[in-house]
Structure 1
């Protein structure tokens, strides 16, 4: 009985991933004349990343761009690096965030101020650790225009260099492609089916302003998901495309950074009192339970299906193949992060990031 349940729970993400990998499209083409993409980069203590991020952004081709960096109270050399580059390239502007108002989270506030200062027809929000492909801005803007989309997003190719990253970062694509019907494509119109990766989001300016921009969810930490849902609630179309050809990103430098980074967003995602037990059944039942039921043939079949699913997702996302054998540990760590976040919330402990503490809103 249990081995049949494990097989069914393994088949669920396998069938979902098979459909989503076929559905996941690529942004292509060139935008119409007159398009201006404002590449907007919130930056707090990003001295190790910002120079190469700017190099890639300023190398954009196929569309007119401007690049704005909002220094959000950095305690390192970030503003000096940007200022020196801005002195030699008029397309780049350095801005300084005002003090964080009550009720706002840092990145959301910085993004809101960036949008106010931008001149573009399209706003491309990226993190400072993202490296855009030369044609990424043009392709995303063209896709938005051709498909009448308010928002285009994708998960960049994740650069993974340490064991700690390999145990954590691959969970992003696993959840997006294995458990979200339609993987965020525009035909899944319901706000609950919206998805976005905050590392790489292009939004059409008029649609962004019509739903109140970032100010509409000023208290949120998971800014990408909140923006996509707000746009769909407002009647706009949003879409996830294959992000691996558009950009790459190294999110974290090791296990500790990754743990804390995912922990801060968890309460606005899976880590809710009602949702997390369901997610635990789905994830543990499909990816961990089969190990406990060996040598049952059904359990062995479940494991084979699980690893094939993970391999397909990993290869499509252009993530390193050495992370595939770590898959059971990746699922276990993901669940540990979620349960830790829920426990911390119950104890009233705020999430922290880059010297700030936040009491994130409950997941929506």
Structure 2
């Protein structure tokens, strides 16, 4: 048990050190200059009547840079198109365009984003999900950050709004993985495509670079644009970057546990849920965040080293606390941290091991091969 506690401590120290380095890197970026050209805010929308109005109000309130806002209606069966058309009649900066039928080999979001990219006229293309609310300075800040870093793509995680327990035990994994396990200083120094990462909710791309690499057409079959698009750009010799985005936008991804499970499951096979990656992630995440509280309990019952187990648990919770405060997430999720990680691993193993006949992902009324 003592050896196991020492291993847990080492595995908890790793994300603690990376988190410290990453938070320092994100805080010490030079001030972004004023962006040098217009920004096209591009929103793929499929049955988003409940979201699209506030999202457009926030986008159209952007300051500091000229904007155009384009919504691609992806065959919505609700009032999405009507709501957009009504707002567009009052504001010439907004356009509504229809998405053609989905071609074979494409996923829906990538196809809608491809259509948006072809219609856009801005120097920078800012792709946001229909549930993302931009801050007034959000578009200008992202474009300025791209110019300051000389980056073809800049992304960040919006402040994640969670309202139910099901969201609070699932959504925080986004920031834990990015800030606890991606070495951002190394990402900025090396061109390795494997270090490329983005949050698909909020992605700004320089228009010429985007079109040069084929844009979303280069990842047409993917369900994980946040992973795939930065890597396409990096393989072309271009730079990508991450910024702190909690004050640039907000997003409420899901409204309950069932939605969260389905949403994170749909792209699991392009993330951790592969036969090679998942055992490694299970060791890293399970050993560093799930095992420590179990070892503390065992030590209190007389088995193992309490100091080592307590230190591992402390590092795990301090790491999660630092990430939560930095990303301005709900602090009440911190005590739930071991459960959050355990559920994330259960979701990934479920995606990997479910029967072949269930090896499909259904999202927004469409079904795709899962992996």
| TM beyond 0.5 | yes
CA positional deviation for 1:147: 2.0
1:291 aligns with 2:301: no
Note if contact 1:41-1:125 (Cα within 8 Å) is conserved in structure 2. Answer: yes
Change in CA separation of 1:5 and 1:106 when aligned onto 2, cut-off 3 Å = same
Over 3 Å counting, the alpha-carbon distance change for 1:27 and 1:258 in structure 2 is farther
1:205-259 deviation line (CA, Å, top 9, x unaligned):
1111111111011000001211100000000000000010110100100111011
Cα distance change of structure 1 residues 125 and 210 upon mapping to structure 2, 3 Å threshold: same
The answer (yes or no) to whether the contact 2:32–2:147 under 8 Å persists in 1 is no
Unaligned runs of 5+ in 1: none
In 2 relative to 1, CA 188–345 (structure 1 residues): closer, same or farther, beyond 3 Å? farther
Structure 1 outlier segments of 4+, above 6 Å: none
3-state SS, counterpart of residue 168 of structure 1? coil
The 2-side partners of 1:133 and 1:115 are apart by: 22
Q: Contact 1:24/1:185 (CA < 8 Å) preserved in 2?
A: no
Structure 2 equivalent of residue 171 of structure 1: 173
Structure 2 residue 361 is the aligned partner of structure 1 residue 351: yes
Q: Which of 31, 34, 39 is equivalent to 2:34?
A: 31
Match of 2:106 in 1: 104
The residue number in structure 1 matching 2:261 is 259
Deviation readout 1:111-162 (Å, 9 max, x if unpaired): 0000000111110000010000101111111121222110010000001111
The equivalent residue for 1:332 is 342
Aligned counterpart for 1:119 among listed residues 118, 121, 124 = 121
- What residue is the counterpart of 2:302 in the other structure? none
- SS of structure 2 residue aligned to 1:202: strand
Structure 1 residues 139-158: aligned runs within 5 Å: 139-158=141-160
Q: How does 1:6-17 map to 2 (within 5 A)?
A: 6-17=8-19
What CA distance in whole angstroms lies between the structure 1 residues aligned with 2:190 and 2:365?
A: 38
CA distance in 2, matches of 1:96, 1:73: 8
Closer, same or farther: CA 44–190 of 1 in aligned 2, 3 Å: same
Q: What's the CA shift for 1:31?
A: 3.2
Give SS of 1:40's match.
Answer: strand
Aligned to 2:206: 204
Sort the Cα spacing of 1:30 and 1:329 in 2 relative to 1 into closer, same or farther, 3 A. same
Q: Give, in angstroms, the shift of residue 165 of structure 1.
A: 0.5
CA distance in structure 2 between the partners assigned to 1:20 and 1:168 by the alignment: 22
Aligned counterpart, 1:305: 315
3-state DSSP of counterpart to 1:229: helix
CA-atom RMSD, angstroms?
1.4
User: Alignment partner of 2:274: what SS?
Assistant: coil
After superposition, give the CA deviation of every residue in 1:285-318 in whole Å (9 maximum; x if it has no partner).
1111122222222111110111111000000000
